[in-house]
Amino acid sequence: TIHQEADFAGMHNAGQITARILDEIADHVFPGQTTGEIDRIIEAKVIEYGTKSATIGYKGYQHASCISVNHVVCHGIPGDKKLKDGDILNIDVTVIADGWFGDSSRMYVAGKLPRKAERLIQVTHDALMLGIEAVKPGNTFGDIGHAIQTYAEAQRMSVVRDFCGHGLGRVFHSPPNVLHYGRPGTGPRLEEGMFFTIEPMINLGRPETKVLADDWTAVTRDKSLSAQFEHSIGVTSDGFEIFTLSPAGKFHPTYG
């Protein structure tokens, strides 16, 4: 879908509510806290801010967030699992505001951030931002994937291939699939008015994942740590707009 100028305001509003929830949840991440309690707080905020959860009821999923801890790559189900000191976790939230979807995720740490995890989180964040910097009309989706893949692999980390970003707007998921690897100049061309997410998952070890018996939780096959960041983006006449940027600049754990 190619959106119009006025649609950017709708996406910005939805994205900023998601960003605010992700800013505010940081204070609720600590050793001994359960992921189910974090999700309950998120769900209350989604309602408090006059929005709807995109994930509750989506394909049978029943939570307002996905919370993916350590070697969980994505789609971690909130539950009674207590966080322990040094756990890293991705919290992924999508709200619907006036029909527009704001989809974003960030990394958080319970207690003290282990050094190995600090590098993984920094590289994953920077890989997302490099992918975003490739967004402008005339570039292709392969340019986005190539920027992410070359940087992450230069840092001797790996890019998960089994999950990708997606078009969004007044729907949660639409074409194209936004791959986090690729060759420059290949894939569909970027056009002004396109809205999509970029949500790279980067592993300290091998790229391969598998889904657990709960049919949701994706983990690294080699049990290595995995991190992810996600933004919802719009293609503008000369570049991009990030709809889900934190107004407080609190996008990853070292910002406290």
Single out the segment in contact with ligand W29 by CB under 6 A; choices: 58-66, 109-117, 147-155, 187-195.
58-66
- Residue 16's binding partner out of Mn ion, ligand W29, none, with CB under 5 to 8 Å set by partner kind: none
For residue 109, which amino acid is it?
A: V
Q: How far is the CB of 5 from ligand W29 (least distance, A)?
A: 25
Binds Mn ion by CB under 5 A, chosen from 92, 128, 224, 245: 92
Helix/strand number for the chain, H first, E second: 4, 15
103 binds ligand W29 (CB under 6 A): yes
CA dihedral 245, 204, 178, 139 (to 10 degrees): 80
For residue 235, which amino acid is it?
A: V
Binds ligand W29 by CB under 6 A, chosen from 51, 53, 55, 203: 55
- CB nearer to ligand W29: give 143 or 230: 230
Strands 52-53 and 201-203: unpaired
Single out the segment in contact with ligand W29 by CB under 6 A; choices: 28-36, 51-59, 181-189, 241-249.
51-59
Record the tokens describing residue 146, joined without a space: 């190539």
- Residue 226's binding partner out of Mn ion, ligand W29, none, with CB under 5 to 8 Å set by partner kind: Mn ion
Q: How far is the CB of 174 from ligand W29 (least distance, A)?
A: 11
166 binds ligand W29 (CB under 6 A): yes
Record the tokens describing residue 240, joined without a space: 């991009």
- Cα gap 174→90, rounded to integer Å: 23
Distances (CA, A) of 137 to 98, 234, 238, 239, 251: 27, 11, 7, 7, 26
Q: How far is the CB of 238 from Mn ion (least distance, A)?
A: 25
